[in-house]
Chains A and B, each alone.
Chain A
Amino acid sequence: MLELKGVTKRFGGVQAVNGLDISVAENEIFGLIGPNGSGKSTTVNLICGIYPVTAGEIVFNGKNLAGLPPHKRLRAGIARTFQNIRLFPNLTVWQNLLVARNSMEDVHSQSFLARWLGETRHTRGEIESILEFSDLADKADDLASNLAFGEQRRLELARAAAAKPRLLLLDEPAAGMNREEVQDLIHRVRGLRDSGITILLVEHVMQLVMNVTDRICVINFGQKIAQGTPDEIQNHSAVQEAYFGTTAGDPD
């Protein structure tokens, strides 16, 4: 459903992504790993259109995304989370989810007032169930900036899910989490997949990558160096060298 063909991104002299080919299948959890600065976040940014590709093309559901602005990519079904948590700090948890739903709003809402307020009964119900799923139900009226770190992470995931994407890009969702929190995240990510969402997971934390992904692509200096199932990747020599070798001191 998502295909990157020879995608390249240069920032001045820096070759952040270099001729990357990736193909993610429908309803798959696809891992993208690599050492620091290898171009993972840049790849995510290219897919959601923060900046244009230097060369190559990105095809989503058979449609070339070139020239499509970010807000239209969301409406086409691509949502994401950020490596550094990004929320609307001065909106409440409820509002953070509401704005995510609103941009996807169906035109058949009930009354003018409900449409104007952006809170149809249908939307309310959906947000309540997202809150439930994210264990944030009792925090609905808190400002996002008042949440604890773990809650902010959950809210970010919830916000991305609230947009009802078909493809979800997760950029290091487990960064800064402890073992239990990662375990919890594993269940959430699986839950999202089971609800029909395809997931591209960028991650350093092996506990997460090795447990949830179907396939993994390893990149270094913006180039693919290996691809395969978690087991294959763990035993791959080039990966050992480029990835595990350089991150021997990884907190995980």
Chain B
Amino acid sequence: MDAYHVTVLSNIGMISLIALSAYLLLVCGEISFGQQAYFGIGAYISGIATAMWGWPLWSGMLAGGLIGASAAAFVGALTLRINGFYFSIATLAFAEMMRLLLYVFRYQVEIGGELVGPDGENGFHGIRWIFENDISTVEFMWIIYGVLASVVAGMMFMERSRLGRIFRMIGQDDMLARMQGVNVLLYKVLAALIAGFIAGVGGSLYAHSFTYIEPQFFNVMLGVHGLAYGLIGGLGVAFGPLVGVAIDIGFLEAIRWIQGYRMIAFGGLVAVMLIFWPRGIFDEKRWYSIRRCLRRMCGAETS
């Protein structure tokens, strides 16, 4: 595998995490335009933790995830009680506010005769944990996929659980969910919290993969892509958004002649999907049929 492919694959893995985070909220019927904020928070917090405080990557990632989760739950608790529209606007507003704050956020310490830390608009250089620990980019790619696999497995397990069913109920008809005894606000905030955690973990990986981050990385386009991946890949199952990411970063990136028209091609794809398959390739119904088919085939083999 050459460096180019490693970079593309690593990107797919990391961006998949923000896609999953947006997906979880979509499942609950909420549209967030601001998951990039928690991705950014995760990146900065974990970068500070490893590069400035000498923490290991794992603790940095956990801190990034937890602080991303708290911020997301805070924004959710304030706005989810009103209605979906306010939540969408509030997530966008919060994310933009975060990004603007990062432009003026300066916190540096001297390490080995060099200033390290977030330096406002100049970004945050020197998040070198993986080089200091002799981890190659290929190895780091495997770390990314290990984390992604755990998150996807966790989400699939959750989807089969009571919690996952409650998220789906809320997404399908939140009034009926309320009538069935579900404290809708509580579960929506919980979804926002889990989504914030996943985004924060993704951001932590991102910071360490690139060693340099700046506020502009975490602009609204990142969040919009995150949303679009779920809508392309499908909202019926947790690997839907991964399919969306693979289509965009893998497929569109691979077709060279599209390069100049990348955003046009992507925007067109989203528009076409929204018209014909509004809940993506693997939407609830299609995923249900696939599962049913698989079960029948397995049943036929064993009997």
A90-130 residues at the B interface, CB under 8 angstroms? 90-92, 95, 98-100, 102-104, 115-118
Residue A58 is within 8 A (CB to CB) of chain B in the complex: no
Residue A204 is within 8 A (CB to CB) of chain B in the complex: no
How many A-B residue pairs have C-beta atoms within 8 angstroms? Tell me.
75
Given A91-B168, A103-B181, A143-B285, A118 and B175 contact (CB-CB distance below 8 Å): no
Task: State how many angstroms separate the Cβ of B82 from the closest Cβ of chain A.
Answer: 15
User: B179's contact among A48, A102, A117, by CB below 8 Å, is which?
Assistant: A48
- B144-182 to A contact mask, C-beta < 8 Å, 1/0: 000000000000000011110110110011011111111
The reply to whether A71 and B288 form a contact with Cβ atoms under 8 Å apart is no
The reply to whether A103 and B161 form a contact with Cβ atoms under 8 Å apart is no
The reply to whether B179 and A91 form a contact with Cβ atoms under 8 Å apart is no
Residues of B within 8 A of A99 (CB): 165-166, 169, 177, 180, 182
- A77 CA / B40 CA spacing, docked (Å): 45
User: B180's contact among A74, A90, A141, A143, by CB below 8 Å, is which?
Assistant: A74
The reply to whether B165 and A90 form a contact with Cβ atoms under 8 Å apart is no
The reply to whether A103 and B182 form a contact with Cβ atoms under 8 Å apart is yes
- A82 CA / B175 CA spacing, docked (Å): 11
The reply to whether B181 and A90 form a contact with Cβ atoms under 8 Å apart is no
The reply to whether A102 and B165 form a contact with Cβ atoms under 8 Å apart is yes
- A182 CA / B159 CA spacing, docked (Å): 37
Residue A89 is within 8 A (CB to CB) of chain B in the complex: yes
Residue A166 is within 8 A (CB to CB) of chain B in the complex: no
- A11 CA / B221 CA spacing, docked (Å): 42
The reply to whether B172 and A91 form a contact with Cβ atoms under 8 Å apart is yes
The reply to whether A88 and B179 form a contact with Cβ atoms under 8 Å apart is no
- A126-161 to B contact mask, C-beta < 8 Å, 1/0: 000000000000000101010000000000000100
Task: State how many angstroms separate the Cβ of B159 from the closest Cβ of chain A.
Answer: 11
Main secondary structure of the interface of A (DSSP, over half): mixed
Residue A50 is within 8 A (CB to CB) of chain B in the complex: yes
Size bracket, chain A contacts: 20 to 34
Residue B119 is within 8 A (CB to CB) of chain A in the complex: no
Residue A5 is within 8 A (CB to CB) of chain B in the complex: no
Residue A9 is within 8 A (CB to CB) of chain B in the complex: no
The reply to whether A100 and B173 form a contact with Cβ atoms under 8 Å apart is no
Residue B284 is within 8 A (CB to CB) of chain A in the complex: yes
User: A117's contact among B162, B178, B184, by CB below 8 Å, is which?
Assistant: B162
The reply to whether A71 and B181 form a contact with Cβ atoms under 8 Å apart is yes
Residue A163 is within 8 A (CB to CB) of chain B in the complex: yes
Residue A75 is within 8 A (CB to CB) of chain B in the complex: yes
The reply to whether B172 and A103 form a contact with Cβ atoms under 8 Å apart is no
The reply to whether B175 and A90 form a contact with Cβ atoms under 8 Å apart is no
- A190 CA / B241 CA spacing, docked (Å): 48
User: B181's contact among A50, A145, A163, by CB below 8 Å, is which?
Assistant: A163
The reply to whether A116 and B162 form a contact with Cβ atoms under 8 Å apart is yes
- A117 CA / B164 CA spacing, docked (Å): 9
Residue B122 is within 8 A (CB to CB) of chain A in the complex: no
Task: State how many angstroms separate the Cβ of A180 from the closest Cβ of chain B.
Answer: 28
Given A98-B165, A159-B180, A88 and B288 contact (CB-CB distance below 8 Å): no
Residues of B within 8 A of A100 (CB): 180-181
User: B176's contact among A88, A92, A141, by CB below 8 Å, is which?
Assistant: A88
Task: State how many angstroms separate the Cβ of B164 from the closest Cβ of chain A.
Answer: 10
The reply to whether B179 and A74 form a contact with Cβ atoms under 8 Å apart is yes
Residue B108 is within 8 A (CB to CB) of chain A in the complex: no
- A16 CA / B193 CA spacing, docked (Å): 40
User: B172's contact among A80, A89, A118, A159, by CB below 8 Å, is which?
Assistant: A89
- A179 CA / B168 CA spacing, docked (Å): 36
The reply to whether A91 and B165 form a contact with Cβ atoms under 8 Å apart is yes
Task: State how many angstroms separate the Cβ of A222 from the closest Cβ of chain B.
Answer: 23
Given A88-B168, A89-B172, A143-B288, A116 and B161 contact (CB-CB distance below 8 Å): yes
Q: Can you list 15 pairs linking A and B with CB atoms under 8 Å apart?
A: A50-B175, A70-B178, A71-B180, A74-B179, A75-B181, A79-B179, A82-B176, A86-B173, A91-B168, A95-B165, A103-B181, A103-B182, A104-B181, A117-B160, A118-B161
Known pairs A90-B172, A103-B180 / 14 extra A-B pairs, C-beta < 8 Å: A69-B183, A71-B183, A71-B184, A74-B179, A74-B180, A75-B181, A86-B175, A86-B176, A90-B168, A91-B165, A99-B165, A115-B162, A117-B160, A163-B180
Q: Which residues of A contact B (CB under 8 A)?
A: 48, 50, 69-71, 74-75, 79-80, 82, 86-92, 95, 98-100, 102-104, 115-118, 141, 143, 145, 159, 163
Q: Which residues of B contact A (CB under 8 A)?
A: 160-163, 165-166, 168-169, 172-173, 175-184, 236, 284-285, 288, 292
7 smallest beta-carbon distances between A and B, as pairs: A103-B181, A118-B162, A74-B181, A90-B284, A70-B178, A88-B172, A71-B181
